[in-house]
Structure 1
């Protein structure tokens, strides 16, 4: 099976030999790919909704992998067979939902070797959750596909914290590695927020003043991240 750039980025973070569980699996493409490529000996395709899980099951059976990929109806990590899983993948959803899923069943992660997350919004909240719950970030990647930017984060158990807000917003590893995709994203974000700032600069109402402060903070974080590209 050939994956999209986004799904391939996520799958590439799974360590060889690890049994993986894909939370919110939708079509089951990642578990199928991991087993087909010999990366994972077995995998679990998990989803809260019956429809997507049935689609995943159908695709798995079409590939003849029903003996190696188990489909589980599960609200987040609720049904995770933690003693049989090394890698947990949570992708294709916003950062707030990822944090909610992790919060609901964080005890399920005690035996897990690695956690791979790909938030489509608010990545800073996911990075903070990882640090607040004794995970350290080993790897990050960022791609652009069909006009959208996607990130993937691989974390393992351990203590870590970032000293700068821009590292939480945009990813310390991506910044320190001077990721060209991140640079492109930062340039676009700066232009976008600079336009917003100009529309707010003469407003005196409380909600406008508050929004202006948020926008100026975002611009400061972007400028700080861009500073690493000039070193």
Structure 2
């Protein structure tokens, strides 16, 4: 099975001999790949969409993995029994939805040692949520695919709080290792911010001027990190 760079980055963060719950499984590619590569022993592929569950079930059968992968229609973790599983994967959805799933399923996380999260938005907020529910962030990666940057964040049971807001904004792990993809993302953010400033200059309103000042401060912060 050939996976996209984004999905390959996600599966690379799952420890060998894990048992996973894949939330928002869509076609079931993540658990199928991990089972075929003998990384995981068993998996639950779950999705709130009936259509996605049907597609995942079809793919599981085609790969003869029905004894190792259960497909369950569930709104997040609500219908999932996590006993016997140690890793939850949540990917391909907005950060606020990721947070909602974690909040509503927090009682199902007692025996979940690892989280592998790939929120599409609100990355800073997701990092804070992981800390608030008792996970330390042990690894992060950024993947560029289809003109988009994707963050993959790995959490492990434990307690930590970042001292600096900038560490939540851009990821302490990425900042500490001076990650090349983080630098690429920051450079992209600078260019995008400058385009916004140019658009705002045309309006010449008080609100626009205030917004320009705010964005200029953001650009200075990004440049400081890069340099």
Q: Is the TM-score greater than 0.5?
A: yes
CA spacing shift, 1:19–1:25, aligned 2, 3 Å: same
Helix, strand or coil at the partner of 1:30: helix
Question: Does 1:31 pair with 2:22?
Answer: no
Cα distance, 1:181 vs structure 2? 1.4
Alpha-carbon distance change, 171 to 15 in structure 1, aligned in 2, over 3 angstroms: same
Please tell me whether the aligned partners of residues 91 and 118 of structure 1 are also in contact (alpha carbons under 8 angstroms): yes
Residue 41 of structure 1 aligns to a residue whose secondary structure is strand
Give the equivalent residue in structure 1 for 2:173: 173
Query: Which segment is superposed worse, 167-176 or 213-222?
Result: 213-222
Indicate the residue corresponding to 1:121 in structure 2: 121
> Deviations along 1:134-187, whole A, 9 cap, x unmatched?
211000011111221111111011111222222212211112212211111110
* CA distance, structure 1, for counterparts of residue 122 and residue 81 of structure 2: 28
TM superposition shift of 1:95: 0.7
Q: How does 1:40-51 map to 2 (within 5 A)?
A: 40-51=40-51
Provide TM-score, normalisation by structure 2. Answer: 0.92
Q: CA deviation at 1:219?
A: 2.6
Partner of 1:56: 56
Note the C-alpha offset of 1:203: 2.6
RMSD: 1.7
Give how far 1:51 is off.
0.2
Output the CA distance in 2 between the equivalents of 1:61 and 1:223.
51
- CA separation in 2, counterparts of 1:40 and 1:95? 26
Asked whether the 8 Å contact 2:21–2:82 carries over to 1, the reply is no
Q: d(CA) in 2 for partners of 1:224 and 1:107?
A: 41
What are the within-5 Å matches in structure 2 for residues 29-178 of structure 1? 29-178=29-178
When residues 161 and 53 of structure 1 are mapped into structure 2, their CA distance, relative to the original with a 3 A threshold, is same
Query: Which stretch shows the higher mean deviation, 133-142 or 163-172?
Result: 163-172
* Correspondence list, 1:2-13, <5 A: 2-13=2-13
Q: What's 1:204 paired with?
A: 206
In 1, Cα distance between equivalents of 2:107 and 2:216: 38
Distance 1:42 1:124, change over 3 A: same
What SS does the corresponding residue of 1:142 show, helix, strand or coil?
A: strand
Unmatched 5+ residue regions in structure 2? none
Query: Secondary structure of 1:43's partner?
Result: strand
Relative to structure 1, the CA distance from residue 109 to residue 211 in structure 2 (aligned partners, 3 Å threshold; closer, same or farther) is farther
Q: Provide the secondary structure at the position in 2 that maps to 1:26.
A: coil
Matched residues in 1 for 2:162 and 2:224: separation? 14
> Residues 18-38 of structure 1, C-alpha deviation per residue, up to 9 Å, x if partnerless?
101100100000000111111
Alignment correspondent of 1:190 = 190
Query: How many aligned residue pairs are there?
Result: 225
**Cα distance in 1 between the residues matched to 2:164 and 2:212:** 21
